[in-house]
């Protein structure tokens, strides 16, 4: 059986407004393994023996966290199993993608988010959580970037879309039957604030008018190419209500893992 590697990346050094996303991996794992939930996916995949959990990255004083993330992710990817990373803020996707791209020369990023995260810099920080995809595109870390669920686009974002050739499907155009035409291996970057705050209140930047859990799950289930890696980011336990968002994050983790296994078997 295909295994799915799991790695926590507890880093929110580049969060622009509020800390807390670094605390996300533990409550997501707790919901994933809670006796209240099944480890079977909606697609019929039994995940009870599927995960190889590599714990959380430990960031050492004096070392660049970007180097630590890239090296750790690369080492785990070399095992050969698909990988899901639990953030952390969205800045971590940049060094993560450096490792993924080295091992996948053909790649599409499916970025599900309320925000484009493609500012050239934010308040002078080029590593900001709001700038990660500008760095990814500058470094050629993907062949295609498809952003789904956006609802905070401004003029600078639109200039960046043109500059980098980003494919955008705004939240208002995301029906429950959304299907994407992707012909390469896929990296999924799942920002929890893509969901409407009614479904996922535990985020720093609550943006009304978002996707439902069902819309995202349906989109994941329609992917038919190998999903080589993914991240789930921007869950902030300090903002959550009754662990609702941790539960949603664990649900999405399971469905992504199930599709990783299903698409390898098909």
Sheet holding 186-191, edge to edge: 51-56, 4-9, 83-87, 227-233, 186-191, 108-112, 144-150, 167-170
CA distances from 259 to 41, 90, 108, 249, 252 (A): 9, 22, 16, 15, 11
At 131, list the tokens: 């700038």
DSSP letter at 78 equals T
Q: Given 3.40.800.10, 3.40.50.720, 3.30.70.20, 3.40.50.11540, which CATH number is that of 4-265?
A: 3.40.800.10
pLDDT at 26: 98
Are 229 and 82 in contact, with CB atoms under 8 Å apart?
yes
pLDDT at 176: 77
Are 84 and 5 in contact, with CB atoms under 8 Å apart?
yes
Give which of 148, 140, 116 is closest to 130, Cα–Cα: 116
pLDDT at 16: 83
Number of Cβ atoms within 10 Å of the Cβ of 91: 30
* Residues 227-251 as b or e (16 or more Cβ within 10 Å = b): bbbbbbbbbbbebbeebebbbbbbb
pLDDT at 102: 98
pLDDT at 182: 97
pLDDT at 77: 98
117/64 Cα distance (integer angstroms): 22
pLDDT at 60: 85
Are 84 and 232 in contact, with CB atoms under 8 Å apart?
yes
Concatenate the DSSP letters of all residues of 191-235 into one string: EGGGB-TTT---BSS--SS-B-HHHHHHHHHT--S-EEEEEEE-B
Residue by residue, pLDDT tens for the chain (266 residues) are 689 999 999 999 999 889 999 999 999 999 999 999 999 999 999 999 999 999 999 998 889 999 999 999 999 999 999 999 999 999 999 999 999 999 999 999 999 999 999 999 998 899 999 999 999 999 999 999 999 999 999 999 999 999 999 999 999 999 878 899 999 999 999 999 999 999 999 999 999 999 999 999 999 999 999 999 999 999 999 999 999 999 999 999 999 999 999 998 77
Cut 0.95: pTM above it? yes
pLDDT at 123: 87
Are 10 and 25 in contact, with CB atoms under 8 Å apart?
yes
């Amino acid at each position: 059986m295909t295994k799915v590697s799991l790695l926590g990346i507890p880093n929110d050094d580049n969060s622009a407004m509020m800390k807390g996303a670094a605390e996300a991996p533990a409550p997501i794992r707790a919901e994933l393994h809670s006796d209240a939930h099944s480890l079977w996916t909606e697609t019929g995949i039994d995940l009870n023996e599927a995960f190889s959990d590599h714990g959380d990255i430990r960031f050492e004083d004096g070392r660049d966290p970007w180097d630590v993330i890239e090296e750790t992710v690369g080492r785990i990817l070399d095992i050969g199993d698909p990988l899901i990373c639990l953030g952390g803020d969205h800045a971590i996707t940049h060094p993560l993608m450096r490792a993924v791209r080295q091992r996948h020369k053909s790649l599409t990023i499916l970025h599900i988010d309320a925000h484009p995260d493609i500012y050239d810099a934010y308040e002078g920080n080029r590593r900001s959580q709001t700038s990660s995809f500008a760095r990814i595109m500058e470094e050629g870390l993907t062949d295609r970037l498809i952003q789904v669920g956006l609802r905070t686009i401004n003029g600078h974002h639109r200039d960046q879309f043109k500059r980098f050739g980003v494919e955008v499907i705004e939240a208002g155009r995301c029906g429950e039957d959304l299907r994407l035409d992707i012909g390469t291996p896929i990296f999924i970057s799942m920002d929890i604030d893509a969901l409407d705050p009614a479904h996922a209140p535990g985020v720093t930047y609550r943006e009304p008018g978002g996707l439902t859990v069902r819309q995202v799950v349906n989109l994941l289930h329609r992917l038919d190419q190998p999903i080589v890696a993914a991240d789930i980011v921007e869950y902030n336990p300090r903002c959550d209500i009754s662990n609702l968002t941790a539960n949603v994050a664990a649900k999405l983790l399971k469905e992504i893992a199930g599709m990783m296994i299903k698409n390898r078997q098909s």
